[in-house]
């Protein structure tokens, strides 16, 4: 028993917020057209923009932001492509269009019999020894149709952990910095920030092109290539719910394109 608990404790150290699947959004169509369905996917993976699993549909919401409100879309599991498909039909392309996805995470426990999904009390009632229980809530938003004279890109959606661009994605250029504001429950976030672009390291998990740290809610990412970029932040160790999970972990991704 002592050896089993030791192994479980090592697993606890390894299963950290850095190594959980990340939630992202990626378009399947090349360009948006006003009044025309635009096909998009929600992806979950350890590798940036390389889908690895289909999330549980009941735990995911995705859609478009219109008039400052989130309009959810119908989601469909795509087992063949390991993602969730949905469509949006933009009504106004005079400015940036923001799409959002969020996952209400389930409790994940490290036990004497390995990793198990379920609330702490449920697994303990089954006779398992629960070493730790964590919940992972994830948020992603993607900016499309960015234009130089638009301010829509900087909308705050109110996610518990949210990355808001200061730099207009339409103005982003390789060799220059992209500035973002990051809020944790509405307050300035201080902590790690990762960034990468599509094609940087598709062979390797948890591998990003850039790392920095946000201070007082601001971070600065050096853009090194054109293409589809993502900026990621995470916050672990937030208060849990007794009997369900010990700690809440939040993830956020901001996605946008950078022109040549």
Q: How far apart, in whole angstroms, are the C-alpha atoms of residue 232 and residue 230?
A: 6
Q: Give, for 87, the enclosing helix (H) or strand (E).
A: strand 83-88
Q: Structure pTM? A: 0.89
Is residue 140 a contact partner of residue 25, using CB atoms and an 8 Å limit?
A: yes
pLDDT in tens, the chain (260 residues): 334 333 333 333 343 444 478 999 999 998 899 999 999 999 999 999 899 999 999 999 999 999 899 999 999 999 999 999 999 999 989 899 999 999 999 899 999 999 999 999 999 999 999 999 999 999 999 999 999 989 899 999 999 999 999 999 999 999 999 999 999 999 999 999 999 999 999 999 999 999 999 999 999 999 999 999 999 999 999 999 999 999 999 999 999 999 98
Predicted pLDDT at 207: 94
The dihedral sign for the CA sequence 222, 179, 45, 86: negative
CA 226 from centre of chain = 21
Q: Which pLDDT score, from 0 to 100, does residue 3 have? A: 40
Helix extents (H) in 149-214 = none
Q: What local confidence, expressed as pLDDT, does residue 168 receive? A: 97
The domain locations on the chain are 2-258
Q: For residue 166, give both structure tokens.
A: 């200061």
The whole-number pLDDT of residue 10 equals 38
């Amino acid at each position: 028993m002592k050896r089993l608990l030791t192994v479980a404790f090592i697993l606890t150290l390894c299963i950290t917020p850095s190594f959980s699947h990340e939630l992202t959004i990626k378009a399947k169509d090349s360009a948006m057209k006003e009044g025309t369905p635009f096909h998009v996917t929600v992806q979950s993976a350890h590798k940036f923009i390389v889908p690895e699993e289909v999330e549980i549909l009941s735990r995911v919401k995705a859609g478009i932001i219109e008039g400052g409100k989130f309009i959810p879309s119908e989601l469909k599991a795509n087992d063949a492509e390991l993602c969730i498909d949905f469509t949006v039909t933009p009504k106004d392309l005079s400015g940036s269009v923001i799409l959002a996805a969020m996952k209400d995470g389930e409790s994940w426990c490290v036990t004497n019999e390995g990793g198990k999904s379920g609330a702490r009390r449920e697994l303990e009632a089954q006779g398992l020894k629960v070493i730790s229980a964590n919940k992972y809530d994830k948020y992603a938003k993607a900016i499309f149709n960015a234009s130089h004279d638009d301010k829509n890109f900087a909308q705050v959606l109110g996610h518990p952990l949210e990355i808001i661009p200061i730099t207009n994605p339409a103005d982003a250029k390789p060799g220059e910095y992209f500035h973002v504001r990051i809020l944790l429950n509405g307050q300035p976030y201080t902590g790690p920030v990762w960034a990468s672009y599509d094609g940087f390291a598709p062979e390797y998990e948890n591998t990003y092109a850039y790392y920095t740290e946000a201070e007082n809610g601001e971070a600065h990412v050096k853009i090194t290539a054109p293409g589809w970029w993502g900026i990621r932040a995470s916050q672990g160790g937030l208060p849990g719910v007794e009997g369900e999970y010990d700690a809440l972990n939040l993830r956020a991704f901001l996605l946008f394109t950078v022109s040549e």
